[in-house]
């Protein structure tokens, strides 16, 4: 029987006998995704241009040194040069961001910090001292807020929003839909056995849309909360397990009641203040 092309391939190319070769292109790395995000945010300019008094070209490349002597606004550059600049700039930014993320004790922050190193320079943390100090303290929400109090926000609000979403995501502060989790939830923050803070521990409403709802709600028993403390985030609930079905049933009942009242199923920061304000008015205070 004639062999197929794959069967005729030498060992080491097609893989050992009985193996299945992966099809399609390799999965992009985080660095690949970073470069793609730069192309999307910065665009590609093959004509030297001036922005905020600085000459740029290619993918957000800032001209420095001898480049300033060689090029002026309006000069054309090749795509090859643009790609070389992008490679050099992005590698430098990625490496610097990795070092910063390591100092902050959270390697997952590298993809979020890298765009800052690219756009603002590797020493941005020396100019944005308050934001950096808050990051070092682990106050990600404070750092995100502080980033808005800057000239950077005035010039590049979209990139600041990217930064905010990135640090929220790295800190596990985003829900599946990308919205920001509450820092306290209905019951206040609770540590699980892995040392992670829980405030919502979401499941779904059971509807076709897969509406997300919190399970850490009033009505859950102490036993239920303790059970959740031993669950891993993202593992989901198995409704065939009685303890987990009870947790989901309580959560769905609470969510349906809030939805009937026109409220978000998730706790909204500041609800106590709103309730207190209403009570004061009703009491004539």
pLDDT tens digits, one per residue of 173-230: 888 878 888 888 999 999 999 888 889 999 999 999 999 999 999 999 999 999 999 9
pLDDT band for position 3 (50/70/90)? very low
The pLDDT of residue 2 = 42
Average of per-residue pLDDT across 95-107: 96
Q: Is residue 8 part of a domain?
A: no
Residue at 50 is within a domain: no
Both tokens of residue 190?
A: 């609770």
Are 169 and 195 in a shared domain? no
More confident residue, 169 or 4: 169
**End position of a domain, from candidates 144, 174, 204:** 174
Nearest by Cα to 213 from 190, 247, 188, 239:
247
pLDDT confidence of residue 211: 92
Spatial CA neighbour of 251 closest among 262, 236, 230: 236
| Residue 167, domain member (yes or no) | yes
Distance CA 207, CA 200 (A): 19
Please tell me whether residues 208 and 161 are part of one structural domain: no
Statement to judge: residues 214 and 266 lie in one domain:
yes
Q: Are residues 169 and 200 in the same domain?
A: no
> Is-contact 46 86, C-beta < 8 A?
no
Mean pLDDT for the chain overall = 86
CA gap 199, 20 in Å, rounded: 43
Statement to judge: residues 251 and 196 lie in one domain? yes
Confidence check: pLDDT of 233 > 90:
no
Would you state the structure tokens that stand for residue 237, as one six-digit string? 């609930």
CA distance 267 to 181: 9
The pTM score is 0.68
Domain final position from 174, 206, 225: 174
When mean pLDDT is compared across 3-7, 58-62, 208-212, the lowest value belongs to: 3-7
Assigned domain for 104 exists: yes
- In tens, the pLDDT along 258-280 reads 999 999 999 988 776 444 343 33
Whether 48 has a pLDDT exceeding 70, the answer reads: yes
Could you tell me if residue 101 is inside a domain?
Answer: yes
Is there a contact between 49 and 56 (Cβ–Cβ < 8 Å)? Answer: yes
Is the pLDDT confidence value at 121 over 90? yes
Beta strands in 59-195 (DSSP E): 61-62, 190-191
Residues 120 and 152 in one domain: yes
Same domain, 194 and 161: no
| Predicted pLDDT at 23 | 56
Residues 194 and 140 reside in one and the same domain: no
Q: Is residue 276 part of a domain?
A: no
pLDDT (0 to 100) of residue 271: 77
Instruction: Note down the domain range covering 226.
Output: 190-270
| 39, two tokens | 């192309």
Domain count, the chain: 2
**Weakest mean pLDDT among 14-23, 150-159, 192-201:** 14-23
Do residue 221 and residue 262 come from a single domain? yes
One domain, residues 140 and 166: yes
* CA-angle at 270, arms to 273 and 225, nearest 5°: 110
232, 214 contact by CB (below 8 A): no
Measured CA to CA, the distance from residue 93 to residue 152 in angstroms comes to 17
Identify whether 69 is part of a domain: no
Q: What is the model's pLDDT at position 171?
A: 78
Least confident range of 22-36, 66-80, 125-139: 22-36
**Reading across the β-sheet that carries 45-51, which strands appear in turn?**
45-51, 54-58, 61-62
Please report which confidence band the pLDDT of residue 24 belongs to, taking 50, 70 and 90 as the band edges: low
């Amino acid at each position: 029987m004639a062999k197929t092309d794959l069967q005729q391939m030498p060992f080491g190319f097609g893989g050992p006998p009985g193996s299945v070769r992966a099809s399609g292109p390799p999965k992009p790395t985080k660095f690949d995704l970073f470069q793609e995000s730069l192309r999307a945010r910065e665009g590609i300019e093959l004509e030297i241009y001036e922005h905020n008094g600085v000459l740029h070209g290619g993918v957000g490349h800032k001209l420095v040194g001898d480049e300033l002597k060689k090029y002026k606004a309006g000069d054309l550059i090749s795509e090859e040069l643009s790609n070389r600049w992008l490679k050099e700039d992005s590698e430098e930014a990625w490496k610097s961001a990795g070092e910063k993320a390591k100092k902050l004790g959270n390697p997952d922050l590298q993809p979020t910090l890298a765009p800052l190193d690219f756009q603002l320079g590797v020493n941005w943390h020396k100019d944005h001292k308050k934001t950096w100090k808050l990051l070092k303290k682990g106050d990600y929400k404070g750092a995100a807020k502080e980033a808005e109090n800057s000239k950077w926000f005035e010039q590049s609000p979209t990139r600041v929003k990217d930064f905010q979403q990135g640090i929220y995501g790295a800190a596990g502060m985003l829900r599946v839909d990308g919205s920001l989790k509450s820092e306290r939830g209905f019951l206040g923050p609770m540590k699980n056995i892995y040392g992670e803070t829980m405030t919502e521990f979401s499941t779904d409403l059971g509807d076709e849309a897969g509406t997300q709802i919190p399970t850490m709600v009033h009505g859950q028993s102490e036993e239920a909360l303790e059970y959740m403390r031993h669950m891993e985030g993202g593992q989901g609930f198995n409704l065939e397990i009685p303890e987990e079905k009870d947790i989901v049933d309580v959560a769905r009942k609470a969510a349906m009641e809030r939805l009937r009242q026109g409220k978000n199923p998730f706790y909204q920061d500041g609800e106590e203040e709103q309730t207190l304000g209403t009570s004061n008015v009703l009491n004539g205070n």
